[in-house]
Structure 1
Amino acid sequence: MSRLLPSVDSFRIGAEQTLPFSHSQSGVKELGDIQNLGLQTLRFPINWADILPSGRITIKQTVLDNYDRFVDLLLERGLRPIADLSLSTLPVPLEDKGGWINRDSIHWFSDFAALLADTLGDRMKEWLTHADPFLHSKTLYRDAKDEGVRSPRKAWTASHHLLLSHPYARDSILAERADSRVGFGLKFWPVFPASDRTRDHLAAERFETEHHAYYLDLLYLGQFSEAALHL
């Protein structure tokens, strides 16, 4: 049975590493531990800012090569790799242009996905574009420490652009590697009113809309519900 191991920071291959991950003794040991658990799949994050620090054009080839070798290492050990793009840090030049608030972020992300598919897609067939976009946008904007950045409205704008970027990135990946499988990750929680009071029912409905319906309606129905439009 194939089981999915959540992404962990120890498998982040960043610009700060001077040696490819495949040459890291501790990293190889951890992969051995994963095999001993009987796991067959590893989902690992790929960081946008490390590969394209200037934004879109100049590729940091040494970092991309690290990911390339890491995919080979996983396959050599019988582990099926899944690329997780959801934990990507935006390159600073793109943050300076507004980040996920800028609608152009949809196309920036699509181009990034195409680059990865072209480089790694001959061996890696499964991709996750975003996971838990509510938490991502909430962390970036709704709960931002900088008062100039903190804004619920910006958080919803970012969520919207994260959602819209998924089909563009999916199409870019499939254009490079038609045999790829591309998914979108969401987290779900059961929601129940704390009491029979009206305000508790309304609070539960709002939570359901914010965390679930807002994303599912657009992904599967192609439109927002009336409740989502009034968040």
Structure 2
Amino acid sequence: MNRRRLLQAATAATALAGTVRASRAAEDQKPHFPRDFLWGTSTSAYQIEGRGDRSADCIWDSFCRLPGTIRDGSNGDIACDDYHRFLEDIALLAGAGLKAYRFSIQWPRVLPEGAGEIAQSGLDFYSRLADALLEAGIEPWACLYHWDLPQALQDRGGWLERSIADRFVDYATLMAGRLGDRITRWAMFNEPNVHAIIGHGLGEHAPGLRGRQNMFAAMHHQNLAQGRALAALRQAGGGKLQLGTVLSLQPVLPAEGLDANTEAARMWDAVWNRAYLDPLFHGSYPERLAADLAPLLRPDDLAAISQPIDFLGINYYSRMHQKADPDGLVGSNWGALPTGTKTTGMGWSIEPDGLYEMLIELRDRYGNPAMFVTENGASFHDEVGPSGRVEDGERIAFLRDHLAACHRALAEGVNLHGYFVWTILDNFEWAFGYTQHFGLVQVDRDTLKRVPKASYDWFAAVARSGVAD
């Protein structure tokens, strides 16, 4: 080999080494999650199951019948028909390499009147679901309440009545007793704050109630029911069950403009976030809410509410930007987003740094409990591409950026153990009906055919590799 060829070979080798180093550096910059980090997805019963053979109404059945409550006039009677197609949907979970699935149990499916006579068909369904998940190598996570109160209990006052806490404990004890041999992880509630504020204060969700007093009554009775159920299940489970709850937690910022927006944001933060976190972890309600909650409190309530938990589920979608509004529920209302803020199809701001901020706050202010992101995702105006499926690059970018926020928090000592995407299937999106699409899988509304989107393949690769590429 002559001198020129030797020089060319050396140059090529140097270039190749540089390329390899650059490739390794780029790979190192991608978020790599721990090997035992849990990847999953979450759903809720009313949004996907369909009515099936459920004999009794829940409050969402009644709410959907009211004119003007649902944007497209739809309901959850069919939804995704998961009640009959759950094996097909479990195959989708397994195909994505997911190791956990958080679903909710419909209270009226197992207790049509909310108490008393048991519907065996409902118990059998959730038993089959748990067995099928375990057979597929997927850990079942059961949520006891995702907003579908039996209408029979609503007719007796629902969450406005203190006695609802006793009914919830009975229901929780029944379910854990029947399924606790196969389901270890139990969440008492999903987003009780949304249910109290949007459903009992603003009237935009079931049961459609309005007013500050209704909101605070629902809030306190949810907290009381949760605390009592945690204590009952911990005793009944003999320490074998992992018990927790799931909250919608969003950093609250003052909207740009008036100085009064600062106090409005602090008040909304107290209602949305701290009305649930403070009594659970600190045994007290925020001072700003003391006057509203005082008539509801009895001497031992806060001790009953402040129970130890094994995990906290965090549902995060966006920051909240609040403005002062004397006509608002608590003198606060949603304000304008900062100029240039990108939004999802729901009009929610895309701010992944808010997830990082919330995780850090839970570390610093609430003792760094064992945490899982139990919902995070986005609705976009999905369109079928030339490939015949939805090429949802916006959703992939959204998830990638939020996973980067999780990874950053992990690196700073946040006790985060897993991430559950919302959600696997396009489904009934509450007051928006079927006009919004959060799923990794498209569901044809006429045929109910499931067609995975590009985001399904992307998230499957993340779940298998632990790298958010």
TM-score (norm 2): 0.45
SS in 2 for 1:122: coil
Superposed CA offset, 1:64-97 (max 9, x none): 1111111111101011001011215222322121
The correspondence for 1:152, drawn from 209, 212, 220, is 212
SS in 1 for 2:94: helix
Answer yes or no: is 1:100 the counterpart of 2:127: no
Answer yes or no: is 1:208 the counterpart of 2:245: no
Q: CA deviation at 1:162?
A: 0.4
Q: CA deviation at 1:42?
A: 0.3
Contact 1:84 1:127 in 2 (8 A): yes
CA distance 1:103–1:6, change in 2 (3 Å):
same
CA distance 1:126–1:192, change in 2 (3 Å):
same
SS in 2 for 1:186: strand
Answer yes or no: is 1:2 the counterpart of 2:21: no
Task: Read off the aligned partner of 1:42 and give its amino acid letter.
Answer: Y
CA distance 1:115–1:8, change in 2 (3 Å):
closer
User: 5 Å matches for 1:20-99?
Assistant: 24=84, 26-99=85-158
Contact 1:54 1:93 in 2 (8 A): yes
In structure 2, what is the Cα distance between the partners aligned to 1:75 and 1:27?
13
Residue of structure 2 equivalent to 1:166: 226
CA distance 1:22–1:149, change in 2 (3 Å):
closer
Q: CA deviation at 1:230?
A: 4.3
More helix by share: 1
Identity fraction in percent = 28
Answer yes or no: is 1:184 the counterpart of 2:245: yes
Task: Read off the aligned partner of 1:33 and give its amino acid letter.
Answer: L
Contact 1:15 1:63 in 2 (8 A): no
TM-score (norm 1): 0.89
In structure 2, what is the Cα distance between the partners aligned to 1:62 and 1:147?
26
CA distance 1:11–1:40, change in 2 (3 Å):
farther
Residue of structure 1 equivalent to 2:196: 137
CA distance 1:52–1:175, change in 2 (3 Å):
same
Answer yes or no: is 1:117 the counterpart of 2:176: yes
SS in 2 for 1:43: strand
In structure 2, what is the Cα distance between the partners aligned to 1:17 and 1:141?
25
In structure 2, what is the Cα distance between the partners aligned to 1:77 and 1:148?
39
In structure 2, what is the Cα distance between the partners aligned to 1:180 and 1:39?
22
SS in 1 for 2:189: strand
SS in 1 for 2:117: coil
Superposed CA offset, 1:119-158 (max 9, x none): 0001101101112111111233223279994222111100
Unaligned runs of 5+ in 2: 1-36, 56-80, 293-469
Superposed CA offset, 1:91-129 (max 9, x none): 232212111111011110000000001100011011011
Answer yes or no: is 1:16 the counterpart of 2:76: no
CA distance 1:109–1:208, change in 2 (3 Å):
same
In structure 2, what is the Cα distance between the partners aligned to 1:127 and 1:107?
18
In structure 1, what is the Cα distance between the partners aligned to 2:215 and 2:108?
21
Answer yes or no: is 1:199 the counterpart of 2:235: no
In structure 1, what is the Cα distance between the partners aligned to 2:176 and 2:219?
24
SS in 1 for 2:149: coil
Q: CA deviation at 1:228?
A: 2.0
Q: CA deviation at 1:51?
A: 0.9
In structure 2, what is the Cα distance between the partners aligned to 1:171 and 1:13?
32
Task: Read off the aligned partner of 1:218 and give its amino acid letter.
Answer: P
Contact 1:15 1:50 in 2 (8 A): no
SS in 2 for 1:67: helix
Unaligned runs of 5+ in 1: none
Q: CA deviation at 1:172?
A: 2.1
Superposed CA offset, 1:4-56 (max 9, x none): 312145653755379xx9994x4322211111211100001101111111221
